[in-house]
Amino acid sequence: MAGQVRVYLVKGLALCTAFMLLYLNVHAGQDIPDSLQAMLNGATTDSARIRAHIGIANTLTKTNYKKALEHATLAVGLSEKTGDQSAMIESYKLAGGVSMYKGLFDLAVNFFNEHYDLAKKVSDEVEAGMAYHNLGAVYLTMEDYGKAKKYFNDSYAMLQAGYQKTGNILPVTTELTYRMNMAIIHMYQREFQRSDSMLDLSISMVKDVPDNEEKLMTIHNIRALLHLKTNNPSKVFESLKQSRIISIRLGNIPAVASILISEGQAYEQLNNIELAKKSYTEAIGYADHYNGLSDLFLISEYLYRIYRKTGPSDSLVKYVELFTNLGQQLKVQQAKEELMRTEFKRSYSQMVEDWEHQQQGAKRQHLFLTITLVLASTAAMATFIRFRTRNRKMRFERVRRDLEERKSKFEQLRLQAELDQRDAELETIRAELNKQSIIEGLVGGLDPVKPTPDIQSLGKTQLGIASASDRKAKAWEEFEYRFQLLHSGFYDRLNQRFPGLTINERRLSAFLKLDMTTKEISDITGQSIRAVHMGRIRLRNKLGLTHTEKELFDFLSEL
């Protein structure tokens, strides 16, 4: 039960405390302020452009992370070009912070390591300590507590040495952030007494920190989770009460909802089902206020589970329907987010390719490394989303089986709509599996034939090559056949509108119609990623998309 609370409490705590030392000046608003846009448009030097890009990235961090990361990486590129070390440090921190904010952890680690290397090069222990703290924050958010602990401890030592060297003492805010992060780490390493001691130190220090209410609320939340882990519900309620008072005073509605979810979990531990229902129901009201789709989905699952055990049937059906509908909405939202990440990956790869022509030697190697990290992060996110979708489908199936055991005439009418919805999901999965089988069949037929080193076996080798050629031809025929089954008439419509396309361009169009990535196409055809990229550019020209912003996938999907 405490593990489920972790989704809505610990991850928030980790991000909250981790970002306390990320020195990002995040502003509100979805658009670039006129003053910053004017500053960028009127910039006549690289230094002025760097400042403008940093200002825009700071402004858009919470509202448009794609644009924020684009401007942050532009600031990185320009600062590296000019060799301005202070601008490089600031842009590394900013780019790493924006990457971490949206879960691009590999990219964040890369930028923070660049920050650390440069700080050590110029013998700035304070900046090196900040870089190590930020790396600790990344690993804390990723729940790698061993690495996080090492980075935080090393960071603390560096910061102390750096401030002593300048004749200053460690700022209270930095000390407090370190204690809070270590409290979380000790708790998840089951060092509960050490975690509690760190929280006591944090409470004694927080009064000396400006604008301390948010930090105090976070400390109470950490302590509540600690008491949940040590099975002390009465103290859980005491800590959550303090946190709730502060969050309401600050108008932090998502925090209030999270606290109510934790209260419901604690009441379930005490087997006080009525109070658990009350907390969950109140949490739904708050989550609905800020349209917290993930929160609403989780709460509806908790309430469904309770009413399945206690009844009545009307309430059970109500929350099953809510759970199902929210699950579908969540899936659509995740698909949109994944599409945004994919689009960012494409535009970011193009931007890095432009940089390649402007930089030499080590900088070019650095840019290729950045591309690799972005692609690896995107692949990891896609895998994670597929994993969560599969688990959600399994959970839906469990709900369906439980409800079928309790069928009545009234429930059958309600559940028929849900079963139809499941059928639609399965049809989607079957279509995806059909697409996957096409790709796998093509790959299997295109395995290369290894040359035989024995000269006397030359005739057999030539036969093997001829056989490989036949297999390739058959594989392409099988691909064309299966593709036509999946997308009937696509080639006819494509040839009718664009008769000048080559065979390879027709096949590239088919791959893109299947929404395959550049790397997947490269793996199948044996071409380099760059060759595939150039093929896409030539195809855009032939399809008349050169001066438009329309994506190839969108255009081919309409054929």
Q: List the alpha helices (DSSP H) in 454-543.
A: 458-486, 490-497, 503-513, 518-525, 529-542
Q: For residues 513 and 461, which has the higher predicted lDDT (pLDDT)?
A: 513
Mean pLDDT across 542-552: 85
Domain boundary among 107, 139, 162: 162
CA distance 236 to 64: 36
Question: Is the predicted pLDDT of residue 115 greater than 90, yes or no?
Answer: yes
Domain boundary among 116, 136, 162: 162
Q: Encode pLDDT of 349-365 as tens digits.
A: 555 555 556 555 555 66
Domain boundary among 344, 363, 386: 386
Same domain, 38 and 101: yes
Same domain, 251 and 197: yes
- Confidence category of residue 460, pLDDT binned at 50, 70, 90: very low
Least confident of 68-72, 142-146, 252-256, 464-468: 464-468
> Mean pLDDT score of the chain, rounded to an integer?
76
Supply 111's token pair: 């930028």
Same domain, 336 and 357: yes
Q: Encode pLDDT of 385-413 as tens digits.
A: 777 767 766 776 776 676 666 666 656 66
Least confident of 94-98, 320-324, 352-356, 531-535: 352-356
Same domain, 492 and 447: yes
Least confident of 264-278, 365-379, 419-433, 531-545: 419-433
CA distance 290 to 303: 20
| Distances 509 to 123, 396, 496, 506, 527 between C-alpha atoms, Å | 53, 36, 14, 5, 15
Supply 144's token pair: 């790698």
Q: Smallest Cα–Cα separation from 517: which of 389, 408, 381?
A: 381
Same domain, 193 and 235: yes
Same domain, 403 and 503: yes
Mean pLDDT across 127-131: 91
Same domain, 366 and 395: no
Mean pLDDT across 219-239: 85
- Confidence category of residue 151, pLDDT binned at 50, 70, 90: very high
Please give the share of the chain, as a percent, with pLDDT higher than 70. 70
Mean pLDDT across 420-429: 52
Structurally, the chain folds into a number of domains equal to: 4
Same domain, 248 and 354: no
CATH of the domain at 70: 1.25.40.10
> In this predicted structure, what is the pLDDT of residue 409?
61
> In this predicted structure, what is the pLDDT of residue 402?
66
pTM of the model: 0.53
CA distance 296 to 287: 6
Least confident of 14-28, 193-207, 499-513: 14-28
Same domain, 427 and 409: yes
Same domain, 280 and 183: yes
- Confidence category of residue 433, pLDDT binned at 50, 70, 90: very low
> In this predicted structure, what is the pLDDT of residue 319?
79
Same domain, 538 and 435: yes
Same domain, 131 and 257: no
Q: Smallest Cα–Cα separation from 198: which of 214, 186, 215?
A: 186
Structural domain boundaries enclosing 427: 388-557
Mean pLDDT across 163-185: 88
